[in-house]
Amino acid sequence: MTNDPLDSLFVAPDMAAVFAPSTRLQAMLDVEAALARAEAACGVIPKSAVKPIMQACDVALYDGAALGRAGRQAGNLAIPLVAALTAQVAQAAPKAAAWVHWGATSQDIIDSGLMLQLKVALALFERDMRRLDTALAGLVRQHRRAVMPGRTWLQQAVPVSFGLKAAGWLGALRRDRSRLREMAPRLLVLQFGGAAGTLASLGADGSKVAEKLAQELGLGLPAMPWHAQRDRIVELGAWAGLLTGNLGKMARDIALLMQTEVAEVFEPAAPGKGGSSAMPQKRNPVACAATLAAAVRVPGLVATLFSAMPQEQERGLGGWQAEWQVLPELLCLAAGALALMAETIEGLDVDASRMRANLDLTRGLVMAEAVALELGRNLGKAAAHKLVAEASRRAMAEARPLRDVLVELPEAAGLLDAASLKRLFDPAQYLGATQHFIAATLRDKPKGH
């Protein structure tokens, strides 16, 4: 990522560090060092070459800006990096310099270096998803019976509980955690194929070196090199898109519940947070805004990865290069949104009394479905629906409680006694299978390792 001050609004610092220029270069150098160890162990290069190569694989020894300028001419960073590494080794051990980068190609170093970065990135995602999972599960348990208006098309519909709403967020997060765990073994694999994916440069030792190199790097060993098969990268991008979209859903809900006229939940307060440069009274949903901004930006980045998939023959031209900046930006945005939502849910200010009060705003109209179903037992569904719809329109027009209008209707006379009316207009009695759904969601742990 860049040093743009705006990065701090959207990007988690620890994820930004994973994709910092120096980290990228060090990961590539780590692959070069591991390659020397693996090849020496397999008898491909002299053991005496390993130490000088490893000692030179320190990013502090290299000028990143100069490598970038050279990379503009070379087409990637690996080519000038290998040249600089070879020169560095030659200063201490001229004979060892001949064995730098033996049998590899630039894409092997770049892609395998990326896998080392992604190992760290996935661990950070798992950590923060676990943090958010814990906070959401606590919210679900605490507010499983906090009755509030369920809203469809932004209008009050029927009662729900805030715990159920939070359980929806939790269920989506746990599916994302399961997806990550299932994807990781497919994703975190070695890239080592030489010029065109045959490892002909290593002769009969190719597969043996590949196996040893994967062990050295702590990566899986794929059945074959994947230079132009980018589905692993795209799967990760699509996963990050799903995660960010689910976080965006959470942020959208919270932001709507923070509206002045609703005022049912609030982001955690902190000095200087959510204020306005013009209006002293404002408490803006700033974490939600940043999360939603990420959810707007991420789909386009995911689309770029999909667009880059049809790569040419054995090594791609342009598509592979398009991934280099897109994937880090995508993952940094997703991680930033995740961190923001974890912090928000941990300190979410929930006003259960306001939720309950908002159910009374419609003077009982939110219970119209319950009444129609009860009357339908005697009148039939269609007739009961028509009757309650007419009563609802009258109640709105006269600004009266639906219950009062109903008792005046001759069609309903004798069908709704006082006990029935009390039950039908109690939102807590019309939550259906809410507690079952909550319990099932809490039990449904993320799958995988």
Read off the CATH number of the domain in which 379 is found: 1.10.40.30
pLDDT at site 160: 97
Check whether residue 166 and residue 30 sit in a common domain: yes
pLDDT for residue 449 is more than 80? no
Share of the chain above pLDDT 90, in %: 86
Strands (DSSP E) along 289-383, which ranges?
A: 349-350
**Which residue among 315, 354, 356, 394 is the active-site one?**
315
Query: Domains in the chain: how many in total?
Result: 2
Q: How far is CA 179 from the centre of its chain?
A: 11
Check whether residue 381 and residue 284 sit in a common domain: no
Check whether residue 232 and residue 326 sit in a common domain: yes
Of 299, 321, 356, the domain-final residue: 356
The residue whose two tokens read 């990050």 is 240
Check whether residue 88 and residue 206 sit in a common domain: yes
The model's pLDDT over 90-120, given as tens digits with 9 standing for 90+, comes to 999 999 999 999 999 999 999 999 999 999 9
Of 356, 375, 399, the domain-final residue: 356
Whether 429 maps to a domain, the answer reads no
Whether 156 maps to a domain, the answer reads yes
Whether 406 maps to a domain, the answer reads yes
Q: Is 276 a catalytic residue?
A: yes
The model's pLDDT over 207-261, given as tens digits with 9 standing for 90+, comes to 999 999 999 999 999 999 999 999 999 999 999 999 999 999 999 999 999 999 9
CA distance 266 to 269: 8
Whether 12 maps to a domain, the answer reads yes
Tokens standing for residue 2: 């860049």
Whether 70 maps to a domain, the answer reads yes
Whether 279 maps to a domain, the answer reads yes
Q: How sure is the predictor about 271, in pLDDT bands with cuts at 50, 70 and 90?
A: low
Q: Is 353 a catalytic residue?
A: no
pLDDT for residue 280 is more than 70? no
Q: How sure is the predictor about 410, in pLDDT bands with cuts at 50, 70 and 90?
A: confident
Whether 81 maps to a domain, the answer reads yes
Q: How sure is the predictor about 64, in pLDDT bands with cuts at 50, 70 and 90?
A: very high
pLDDT for residue 4 is more than 90? no
pLDDT for residue 279 is more than 90? no
Check whether residue 264 and residue 400 sit in a common domain: no
Check whether residue 270 and residue 347 sit in a common domain: yes
pLDDT at site 415: 85
CA distance 309 to 322: 10
pLDDT for residue 273 is more than 60? no
pLDDT at site 257: 97
What is the extent of the structural domain holding 393?
A: 365-424
pLDDT at site 448: 75
Check whether residue 241 and residue 258 sit in a common domain: yes
Q: What's 281's domain CATH number? A: 1.20.200.10
pLDDT at site 185: 96
Q: Which long-range contacts (CB under 8 A, 24 or more apart) does 292-295 make?
A: 292/248, 292/251, 292/252, 292/255, 293/10, 294/10, 294/244, 294/247, 294/248, 294/333, 294/334, 294/336, 294/337, 295/244, 295/245, 295/247, 295/248, 295/251, 295/337
pLDDT for residue 124 is more than 80? yes
pLDDT at site 412: 81
Check whether residue 291 and residue 416 sit in a common domain: no
Check whether residue 399 and residue 254 sit in a common domain: no
Q: What is the mean pLDDT of residues 416-441?
A: 93
DSSP-derived 3-state class of residue 148: strand
Identify whether the C-beta of residue 163 lies closer than 8 Å to the C-beta of residue 438: yes
**Which residue among 48, 276, 307, 353 is the active-site one?**
276
Q: What is the mean pLDDT of residues 346-369?
A: 95
User: What's the CA dihedral at 32, 37, 40, 42 to 10 degrees?
Assistant: -100
pLDDT at site 274: 56
What mean pLDDT is reported for the chain? 93
Check whether residue 308 and residue 410 sit in a common domain: no
- In which element (H, E) is residue 159 found? strand 155-161
Check whether residue 373 and residue 345 sit in a common domain: no
Check whether residue 267 and residue 170 sit in a common domain: yes
Q: What is the mean pLDDT of residues 311-338?
A: 94
Whether 444 maps to a domain, the answer reads no
